């Protein structure tokens, strides 16, 4: 009897969470790392959106969107409307699709695979998170070449699967793929598309302040300092994982 009551309570709570999320105005934000995602998040903070994480602080645990974590943060924030679920390095899955409705918009933000690998490596070295990131396990005594190979072997499959999963996803909401360089060169235009507001504007002074707080400038002059062999290794992995798919997926991966 008690077990049945507990099951009923759990079912009703789950139903309430699902309804609350599906009927709210959401912008879901999914991204690969180092794709100017923090910059986009900070713009939405500036625009007075309720910006919330939907992933617990995992550190070196692979990220998976957690609906209970999202609901907890929604409840604690006392939000009214306009929610932005900030950068989730989560692949699409059928479970999360149940919570995405026609009222929502889904942003998929990515960056060229070579630039991502180099930027991720530099962040790992700078912040000394050799084994405290969800993409690879490195050691501080590794050579840069060894780090590059390790990141390519471990991270590249995630990047490719991320793009494929969201490209092929069947969801009720509108999907918008954001190309890193196109976004940072014309963020106002993308924000108009995201918000469906042709009159949207953000003062240049505000944008410059946001850029300074978003590590934005570091990526503007990114060099792809990978060897020919390292690039070839990356390409082989991409090719093996995408050979059954159309060219548009490759265009997203390489930002062509």
Higher confidence at residue 62 or residue 113? 113
Rounded mean pLDDT of the chain?
88
Confidence of residue 204 (pLDDT cuts 50, 70, 90): low
Rounded to 10°, the helix 204-212/37-46 angle is 130
Residue 155, burial from CB neighbour count under 10 angstroms (0-12, 13-18, 19+): buried
Residue 5, burial from CB neighbour count under 10 angstroms (0-12, 13-18, 19+): exposed
pLDDT tens-digit readout, 65-85: 999 899 888 888 877 678 899
Check pLDDT > 60 for residue 170: yes
Q: Which CATH number fits domain 19-254: 3.40.91, 3.10.50, 3.40.50, 1.10.10?
A: 3.40.50
Q: Biggest alpha carbon distance in the chain?
A: 66
What gap in Å lies between CA 117 and CA 224, rounded to an integer? 9
Q: How many CB atoms lie within 10 A of CB 165?
A: 15
Confidence of residue 219 (pLDDT cuts 50, 70, 90): low
Between 87-96, 166-175, 205-214, 229-238, the lowest mean confidence (pLDDT) is in 205-214
Q: Which residue has the tokens 């062509």?
A: 256
From residue 105, give the alpha-carbon distance in Å to each of 28, 55, 140: 6, 18, 40
pLDDT in the model for residue 198: 65
Exposure string over 104-124, b if 16+ CB within 10 A, otherwise e: bbbbbbbbbbbbbbbbbbbeb
Exposure string over 49-77, b if 16+ CB within 10 A, otherwise e: bbbbbbbeeeeeeebbbbbebbbebbeee
What gap in Å lies between CA 25 and CA 222, rounded to an integer? 35
Sheet strands side by side (includes 50-52):
50-52, 83-88, 26-31, 105-110, 174-179
Q: Are the CB atoms for 130 and 139 separated by under 8 Å?
A: yes
Confidence of residue 203 (pLDDT cuts 50, 70, 90): low
pLDDT tens-digit readout, 175-193: 999 999 889 888 888 888 8
pLDDT in the model for residue 2: 67
pLDDT tens-digit readout, 17-36: 888 899 988 999 999 999 99
**Up-side HSE of residue 51: CA atoms within 13 Å toward CB?**
17
């Amino acid at each position: 009897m008690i077990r049945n009551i507990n099951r009923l309570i759990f079912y009703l709570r789950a139903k309430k969470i699902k309804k609350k999320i599906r009927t709210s105005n959401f912008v879901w934000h999914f991204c690969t790392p180092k794709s100017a995602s923090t910059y986009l998040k900070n713009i939405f903070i500036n625009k007075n959106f309720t910006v919330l994480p939907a992933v617990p602080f995992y550190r070196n645990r692979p990220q998976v969107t957690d609906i209970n974590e999202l609901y907890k943060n929604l409840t604690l924030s006392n939000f009214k409307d306009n929610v932005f679920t900030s950068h989730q390095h989560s692949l699409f899955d059928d479970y999360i699709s149940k919570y995405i409705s026609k009222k929502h918009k889904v942003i998929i933000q990515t960056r060229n695979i070579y630039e991502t690998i180099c930027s991720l490596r530099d962040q790992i070295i700078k912040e000394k998170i050799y084994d405290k990131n969800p993409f690879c396990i490195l050691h501080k005594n590794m050579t840069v070449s060894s780090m590059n190979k390790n990141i390519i072997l471990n991270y590249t499959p995630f990047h490719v699967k991320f793009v494929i999963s969201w490209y092929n996803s069947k969801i009720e909401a509108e999907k918008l793929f954001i190309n890193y360089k196109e976004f940072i060169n014309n963020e106002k235009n993308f924000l108009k598309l995201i918000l469906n507001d042709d009159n949207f504007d953000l003062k240049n002074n505000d944008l410059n302040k946001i850029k300074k707080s978003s590590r934005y400038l570091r990526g503007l002059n990114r060099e792809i300092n990978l060897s020919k062999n390292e690039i070839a290794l990356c390409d082989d992995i991409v090719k093996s994982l995408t050979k059954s798919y159309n060219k548009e997926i490759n265009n997203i991966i390489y930002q062509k």
